């Protein structure tokens, strides 16, 4: 554990690591206090595309945890960055929440439901059959299909809910087109996170509750990896995968010791 505590940078998933729904998880305050006390560089890097960094800061503040906006990076921001790098000034039809729409707008991408360059899908509570039908039509007309992240489910208070991979699947099946997923484990998002921290991958840690996004993202980007059992993964699930995390902990509160 001392090897882990000696690292300079910490990239943490949020859902299932920092909170469930609107409930802060045990040990999180102590962990964040330790990060500040030890002058660690840290970033909350989430595959959730629904909220902006400002909204995430406010959400944590409501739960009693104060974290500045510059410590957040979302799959919505990563998606907007990717789309802008591919096709500056392009247009998109969006199925997603305000965090995604706002990030695209800030990147100079216009919203178009008639003849867009892209169909972009993220998590949203306003997921409707009519939107899926329209997205299928646009993709069949030539729009490129992009999704914010490949999580199939996400943890909430009292269980799990369908996440982006499950929401985009009907469009893929109906069009025969595969979506391009920008969020973890895509190295694009991880490399940007490391740049934001200003540390080398060998000096950083990836902490998450999922083997198929968080842990594999850390392994493939060269970070030390920590799987916490406070989210969607149980200890018996780990053997289903051909790779293993460097550490398996009950929660982030175990790290300060």
For 81-102, the pLDDT digits (tens) are: 999 999 999 999 999 999 999 9
Compare 154 and 243 and report the one with higher pLDDT: 243
Mean pLDDT value of segment 118-125: 96
Positions marked catalytic: 13, 15
Strand 204-208 relative to strand 144-147, pairing: unpaired
Instruction: State whether residue 113 is helix, strand or coil.
Output: coil
pLDDT at 232: 87
Residues 127-176: pLDDT tens digits?
Answer: 999 999 999 999 999 999 999 999 898 877 777 889 999 999 999 999 99
Instruction: State whether residue 224 is helix, strand or coil.
Output: strand
Quote the percentage of the chain above a pLDDT of 70: 100
Decide: pTM greater than 0.85: yes
> Are 174 and 122 members of one domain?
yes
Q: Does some domain include residue 148?
A: yes
Instruction: Return left, alpha or beta for 138; rule: phi > 0 is left, psi -120 to 50 is alpha, else beta.
Output: alpha
pLDDT at 159: 78
Mean pLDDT value of segment 14-41: 95
Strand 144-147 relative to strand 110-111, pairing: unpaired
Range of the domain at 200: 2-47+184-254
> Are 204 and 117 members of one domain?
no
Mean pLDDT value of segment 43-52: 95
Compare 22 and 182 and report the one with higher pLDDT: 182
Cα(10)–Cα(252) distance, integer angstroms? 11
End residue of a domain, out of 131, 156, 181: 181
> Are 209 and 177 members of one domain?
no
Q: How many domains does the chain divide into? A: 2
> Are 146 and 81 members of one domain?
yes
User: Would you say residue 227 has pLDDT above 90?
Assistant: yes
């Amino acid at each position: 554990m001392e090897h882990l505590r000696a690292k300079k940078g910490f990239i943490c998933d949020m859902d299932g690591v920092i909170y469930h729904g609107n409930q802060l998880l045990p040990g999180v305050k102590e962990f964040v206090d330790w990060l500040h006390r030890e002058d660690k560089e840290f970033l909350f890097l989430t595959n959730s595309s629904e909220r902006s960094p400002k909204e995430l800061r406010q959400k944590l503040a409501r739960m009693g945890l104060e974290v500045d906006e510059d410590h957040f990076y979302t799959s919505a921001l990563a998606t907007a960055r990717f789309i802008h790098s591919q096709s500056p000034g392009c247009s998109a039809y969006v199925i997603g929440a305000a965090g995604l729409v706002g990030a695209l707008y800030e990147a100079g991408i216009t919203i178009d439901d008639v003849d867009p360059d892209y169909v972009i899908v993220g998590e949203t509570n306003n997921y409707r059959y009519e939107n899926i039908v329209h997205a299928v039509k646009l993709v069949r007309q030539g729009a490129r299909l992009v999704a914010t992240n490949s999580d199939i489910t996400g943890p909430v208070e009292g269980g799990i809910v369908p996440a982006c991979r499950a929401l985009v699947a009907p469009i893929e099946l109906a069009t025969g087109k595969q979506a391009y997923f920008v969020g973890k484990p895509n190295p694009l998002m991880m490399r940007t996170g490391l740049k934001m921290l200003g540390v080398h991958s060998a000096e950083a840690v990836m902490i998450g509750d999922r083997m198929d996004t968080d842990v594999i993202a850390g392994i493939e980007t060269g970070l030390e990896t920590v799987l916490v059992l406070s989210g969607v993964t149980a200890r018996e699930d780990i053997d289903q995968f051909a790779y293993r995390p460097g550490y398996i902990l009950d929660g982030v509160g175990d790290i300060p010791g």
